[in-house]
Every structure is written in C-alpha cells, then in structure tokens.
Structure 1
Amino acid sequence: MELQFLGTGAGVPSKERNVTSIALNLLDELGVYWLFDCGESTQHQILRTPVKLSKTNKIFITHLHGDHIYGLPGLLSSRSYQGGVTPLTVYGPAGIAVFIRQALAISGSHLNYDLCIEEITSEGILVEEQGFVVEARRLEHRGECFGYRITEPDQTGTLLVDKLQHEGIKPGPIYSQIKQGGAVELPDGRTIQGEDYVGKSIPGRVVAIMGDTKPCQAAIELARDAHVLVHEATFASSHHEHANDFGHSTSAQAAQIAETANVRTLIVTHISSRYQGEDVDVLLSEAQAIHKDTYAAADFWTFRL
C-alpha cells in the first residue's frame, strides 16, 4: 500500500505544485489504484508516475471546487485510450454526476468502459471490497465536503513455528494448512486446531484522507488511530484567521487533529501557492512542534505504509 501524491497545491497550480490529487496504490492488495480528487492536469501528472489509468477503478471526490474536479473529464476520456476497459466508479457530493455527464456529452467524449457515478447522500460506509472498507464523513468547508477513511482487513497472525516443532510437527505443506485454521489431521494421526498455532491477527492499516476543512470533530473521528492521516495545511499559523474564514486549516491545526486522533504519521498537503521553496519549512516545523512524525507532501512524492 502506497500513497502517490500527484498534486499538492491549493486553489491554483504553481510552478512547484499542481492542484490536488492523490493515488492510493493497492496493486499488491487488490490489483488496482484508487484516486482521491482530480484537479486540473492530473492526467499529465500521472504520466510522470507508475500510476496506470487502466488499473484505476475508483475515484473519490471530496468536494466540487475546481481545483479538485477540473481534471476529471479529460482523465475519464483518456482512460479509454490507455487500455481502460474495466468499470470505473466515481464517488462524490451531489452535483458530481451532472458535472461529469455534461462535460462528456458536450465534448462528444466516448468511453470504452462502464462509468458509474455514485453521489454521496449520507455519511457512512461507501465501499466494502475484499475486506477493504471506505467510510465517508462530512467535513467543515465552504459547501459540502467529505473526508474518507480507508481500512484494510486484518491479516492472519504469524505461524507459531517454535510451538509446532516443540510438539514434533515438522515443516512442510502441513504448515500452510495449519495457518488456515480449523481442524488439521497430522501424518501421525493426531488432529489439532490450526488457530492454536497461529499468533494474534495483525490489524489492517488505516489511511485517512481529508478534503478541504477547518478543524472539526468529523476529521478526528475519521483519523482515529490511523496509520497515516493526509490533511490539508493551506496556511501557516500567522494566517489562521484567513484559514478559518475560508474553511481551511493551518499546519498546526492539522497537527493537533493528528495528536488528538492518535495518528501515527501525518502528511500535510493542499499548500497555498504563497509558500514556495523553503517557505514550506515554516508549515512543516509548526506541525512537527505538535506532532513529530509529520511530512510535507510534494508533487510526485510517495509514502509507503
């Protein structure tokens, strides 16, 4: 599982940062990519990464501001020319269907795959796929905006090899059967219960990806005990009033959310174009003063869980 940052800027693109888009690499787990937001030129950014549109089967839109959706029509159309024939589903607030359908119709675009658009009408679980769960909650921004929590299924615990060998059960194909649990008949005629020889299950990883938001309780709940929280940090603390007026967060506020929610790693993104070059260090240092394990995302940067 890996996060690939395609665009990390806020509002408008700059020379250093394109507008918002993040790809979640689930090739090892599900054989696909999931995309979160799709700002203008997202498909151009993808060309510079390993991300494959043909293997992208879900797009989650946080809200309908242009810097989060203007790249959708072009990307959906280009997917047909890049071998994309499998169904794709777009999730987003009310209005996303009209935007996509009209843009494709007016431009005469033809898709070689089935496109499903699901508008989010209530909070809760959106997706359950092979044990993966995606939950959505409303955040506090100008207009309806959602954050997403992605939870991986728990993994089977490690095989207790020392215990098996102590009881005279030698290595071989029988070990695979034991790890699956249930009754297992041994070559010597004994029957054992596989779960007695497997350690505690390993909790699945949790990734929380926020849309634009001022600090709110929903963000804390989505991020609770997450391995990684991706949170906007549009401004430094010196502009906290401006951030509040426009429904955004400072980097320090994002860090406080991470601390309150007991998050392991915080990644701040959606950074205003006023912060160029080393100016971003101000945002990062303010966040790290509150939550030490914090990174500032940059375009084309990846984070592997």
Structure 2
Amino acid sequence: MIRVTFLGTSGAVPTVERAPSAVYLNREGDEFLFDCGEGTQRQMMRFNTGFGLSHLFVTHLHGDHVLGIPGLVQSLDFNDREAALTIHGPPGSKRHLTDLVHAAGHDPGFPVRVRELRPGAVALEREEYEVRTFRTDHRTSSVGYALVEDDRKGRFDREKAEEELNVPPGPAYGKLHEGQSVELDDGRVIRPEQVVGPPRPGRRVVYTGDTRPVDETVDAAEGADLLIHDATFLDEARDRAHKTAHSTAHEAAQTAQRAGAKRLALTHLSSRYAGQARSFEREASDAFDGDVFLPDDGDEVEVPYPDDE
C-alpha cells in the first residue's frame, strides 16, 4: 500500500482552507514527508498521519516549504521520540536546515541528520525501492523527488505448473518463482520462464515542489502512477508563472501527458484562486488524458500496483 495524504496544498500565502506545502507518504509502513510548511505538525494530527516519519525531503528553502520544521522537530521531541530523523535538501541547504532544526535554541533529544543532495542522486535506497532527486527550475536551489519501486516478480502460473507440467506442490514452486530451475523425480528440468510471467512494474510517485515545466520532470515521471506537480496559476497568468518560476495547471498537465503519467495532482494553488478548483481541473484536463484532480488539505490517495487496478 502507498497512501499519500495532502497536508498542505496552498501556494506561498496560506488560506483558511489550505495550509502551506506538505505531503505525507506511507509506503508499506515507511513514512515520509515532502516539504514542511508552517503548521505541518498540526495538519499531521488533524489528518491522522501519525508522527512515524523517518525522512523529510525538502525541495527548496522558501518559507512556505520549510517554516514548519522547527515546530515539527519540537513536537517530535515533546513526544519523547528516540528514532533518528533524516532531512534531505538541495545543494546549499544544509546550514539553513540545521538552523531551522535548532530554532529558538532548541536542541532535540533525538538524532537529526541533514543531507544535501544534487539532482540525479539517490536520496534513499531500500531493498524494494529508491527515492531519487531530479532537477527542477525555481528561483533558488531546488530538487524534486521520485519514489521508484523495483520491478516485482512475474506471476506464478500454479495451474500450468501443477496440471500441465505435473510439478508437485511444495519447495519447487518457491524455487521456480525465485528464478531457479528444478529437476523433477522423472528427470525433467522445469525452467522458471515456463511457469513465471514477465516482471511486473512497481509503482512510481513523483513530487516536484515549485518549478517551471522541465524535461527532467518528464524523465522522472515516465509512466508515473501519481505525479504531484506545481500548478500555482491558471493559464491566463502564464506570464506571472514564468516570472515567478512556477507552472500553470495547463503546463503541469502537458508535463504529465509527455511523461505518460496515470494520475496528476495539482498543488501549490495561489490564494488568488480560492474556490476555483474546477477551473484548474478543467484547464488541466484539456492537455492530459489521465486522471487529474486538485486535492484539498486532508485528501488521501491510495496508489495501487498497475496490474491491480
């Protein structure tokens, strides 16, 4: 299970309905936070994500993406946290992120590690997936993040193994599914490809943070199950978007279409557009054939495996 909770979907200025940027992701119990705008720890309580996060991935150092770090760290400390927290950020961010961790002279009682990452780096490597960085284009040092799962084993055709090839149930099935040939009592050798289908793709969730449309997002989001893309403005304000290094809903949709993404979440909505979610979805739908939506704070999205849909 991958569950994404949108904790903050506003642009630089929060509104009554929308908090600054923060997205919580739970992958099979591994919990991550992408960006941490002001008040994120309260949003985590409000929307029941819990505080089990192990890694915080920061896209850039603008206040609406990082000013929640002091409050989050102190809330974790007040709850007697002992486990380490790793904060990842773009080049040049380590000193500033460290200062935020220790804001107001606070010295957390649990380990907090701060890392700088260049675009194209592996931020986190696990047995079944990676979190990778990619280049984004904002007005400061910035990166986006892609959680990319490894391919999974092909499906094991039990019916063929048992009824057509007369492979007895038991350890042989496990060996074949692991890619090992097995020799039966009658001398026949059964190869894995006879009973195991082709590898099945894992899932891919991509978060851009604030950015202009860039080719690197297209590459990172190739075939993505969910692309969470900056869509600060409607297309009527595309000059403003270009000047402030943001994207319009239409531009985010064009990126998703080029990438072949399955779903597109539009985030970082400018406060000037309060109550106009349908306009964003309609504009994006003109350029994107997949599922597009503009989440509200607190919305949850589950990302299934492609072959489970």
Q: Equivalent residue for 1:33?
A: 31
Post-superposition offset of 1:141: 1.1
Q: Equivalent residue for 2:24?
A: 23
> Following superposition of structure 1 onto structure 2, how do residues 131-280 of structure 1 map, counting pairs within 5 Å?
131-164=128-161, 165-172=163-170, 174-184=172-182, 186=184, 191-277=189-275, 279-280=276-277
Q: Which of 55, 59, 62 is 2:56 aligned to? A: 59
Deviations 1:187-237 (A, max 9, x none): 767553345321111111111110111122222222222121110111111
Q: Equivalents in 1 of 2:6, 2:283: separation in Å?
A: 21
Task: Mark the CA change 1:198 to 1:82 in structure 2 (over 3 Å): closer, same or farther.
Answer: farther
> Which residue identity is paired with 2:299?
W
SS in 1 for 2:271: coil
Residue 128 (1) aligns with residue 129 (2): no
Q: Equivalent residue for 1:3?
A: 4
CA contact (8 A) 2:98 2:114 kept: no
CA contact (8 A) 1:9 1:269 kept: yes
Post-superposition offset of 1:173: 5.5
> Which residue identity is paired with 1:146?
V
Task: Mark the CA change 1:112 to 1:189 in structure 2 (over 3 Å): closer, same or farther.
Answer: farther
Q: Equivalent residue for 1:304?
A: 302
CA contact (8 A) 1:256 1:291 kept: yes
Q: Equivalents in 2 of 1:13, 1:81: separation in Å?
A: 26
Deviations 1:32-58 (A, max 9, x none): 2111000000000000223222x2111
> Which residue identity is paired with 2:22?
S
Q: Equivalent residue for 2:107?
A: 110
Deviations 1:22-79 (A, max 9, x none): 01111x2xx32111000000000000223222x2111110000000000011112222
CA contact (8 A) 2:70 2:103 kept: no
SS in 2 for 1:274: helix
CA contact (8 A) 2:118 2:143 kept: no
CA contact (8 A) 1:73 1:100 kept: no
Task: Mark the CA change 1:124 to 1:166 in structure 2 (over 3 Å): closer, same or farther.
Answer: same
Q: Equivalent residue for 1:100?
A: 97
Q: Equivalent residue for 1:282?
A: 279
Task: Mark the CA change 1:145 to 1:101 in structure 2 (over 3 Å): closer, same or farther.
Answer: closer
Q: Equivalent residue for 2:48?
A: 50
SS in 2 for 1:151: strand
Q: Equivalents in 1 of 2:188, 2:82: separation in Å?
A: 51
SS in 2 for 1:135: strand
Q: Equivalents in 2 of 1:186, 1:2: separation in Å?
A: 43
**TM-score, L = length of structure 1:** 0.91
CA contact (8 A) 2:102 2:108 kept: no
> Which residue identity is paired with 1:14?
T
Q: Aligned residues: percent identity? A: 34
Structure 1: stretches of 5+ with no match in the other structure: none
Residue 86 (1) aligns with residue 83 (2): yes
Task: Mark the CA change 1:264 to 1:32 in structure 2 (over 3 Å): closer, same or farther.
Answer: same
CA contact (8 A) 1:182 1:195 kept: no
